[in-house]
Amino acid sequence: MKLRIATWNVNSVRQRLDLVKRLAAEKAPHVLCLQETKVEDKDFPLEPFVELGYRHILIHGMKSYNGVAIVSRVPLEKGGRKGWCGKDDCRHVFATLPGGIELHNVYVPSGGDIPDPKQNDKFAHKLQFMTEMAEWGAALRDSETRRILVGDLNVAPLETDVWSHKQLLKIVSHTPVEVDHLSGMMAAHGWVDAVRHFIPPKVRLYSWWSYRARDWSASDRGRRLDHIWVSPPLTPGLESAEVLREARGWETPSDHVPVILTLKI
């Protein structure tokens, strides 16, 4: 069968229900991975998702900050949550999809403003988070397991993943140390960037635009912070990938847009 997976940092799931509905209508992903749901589990709006056919739901949220969820039209098995850096601040949920495919939905810390781990605890946390995810990925590594990692990784690794490589070298999300950590995380497990598999690295590609721009589309100062990675056994089945730029122009948008992968399983 074909499986379509979307990842989307919604910046409050309760504020974005109409747009989730629109995404479901227009793209019909089987599985939708959300970040920054910003809601405790007891207050998560389950009903609207069930009505859209997403009956299988895994949530991991807290008050105000962070929060991740997997909602699915296909059964989810062996679901769980994982904490990183000695805390559980609701940044990782995982589940097994039909066919035994492991799916991980991750929200990497943003990292604050100052790109120096000595001066900025949030930046130190971000680097530590990626270091631990690299170790985790290395330990899991094998040649058979079909595994998918999606989420807001808060790093734009390529020069074409930002509007100006030169101007963002000292801006958190595109500093060399962050790109190194993300590359390390990728190499440790042998992850393949499923989006760049289809959209060549020379092509500019963004998934996030700041709310602060007067005209996000005209200035187009975006970054590609949202990613879908797959383990090597899944690469032969990759069919297409898309970053839904138009969603940034929807009414009361998130500052991130959905990233969608279709694969044969």
Partner DNA sequence: ATGGTCGGAAGCCGA
Note whether 112 binds DNA by CB under 7 A: yes
Nearest Cα residue to 79 out of 98, 94, 100, 60: 94
The contacts of residue 225 (CB under 8 Å, 6+ apart) are 9, 152, 153, 154, 155, 156, 173, 207, 208, 256
Note whether 128 binds DNA by CB under 7 A: no
What character string, x for contact with DNA (CB under 7 A) and - otherwise, covers 22-61? --------------x-xxx---------------------
| Contact stretch for DNA (CB under 7 A) within 127-135, 176-184, 196-204, 206-214 | 206-214
Among 64, 217, 235, 240, interactor with DNA by CB under 7 A: 64
Buried b (16+ CB within 10 A) or exposed e, 179-196: bebbebbbebbbbbbbbb
| Contact stretch for DNA (CB under 7 A) within 105-113, 138-146, 187-195, 257-265 | 105-113
Q: Quick one: which H or E segment has residue 33?
A: strand 31-35
Note whether 110 binds DNA by CB under 7 A: yes
Note whether 211 binds DNA by CB under 7 A: yes
Among 8, 24, 54, 109, interactor with DNA by CB under 7 A: 109
Note whether 15 binds DNA by CB under 7 A: yes
Among 143, 212, 215, 236, interactor with DNA by CB under 7 A: 212
From CA 72, how far away is CA 53, in angstroms rounded? 8
Quote the least distance from Cβ 105 to DNA, whole Å.
Answer: 16
Quote the least distance from Cβ 12 to DNA, whole Å.
Answer: 3
Q: Are 241 and 224 in contact (CB under 8 A)?
A: no
Among 73, 122, 141, 197, interactor with DNA by CB under 7 A: 122
Q: Are 221 and 143 in contact (CB under 8 A)?
A: no
From CA 125, how far away is CA 130, in angstroms rounded? 9
Residue type, 170: K
3-state helix, strand, coil in the chain (%, to 5): 25, 30, 45
Note whether 210 binds DNA by CB under 7 A: yes
Residues that bind DNA (CB under 7 A): 11-12, 14-15, 36, 38-40, 63-65, 109-110, 112, 122, 210-212, 252
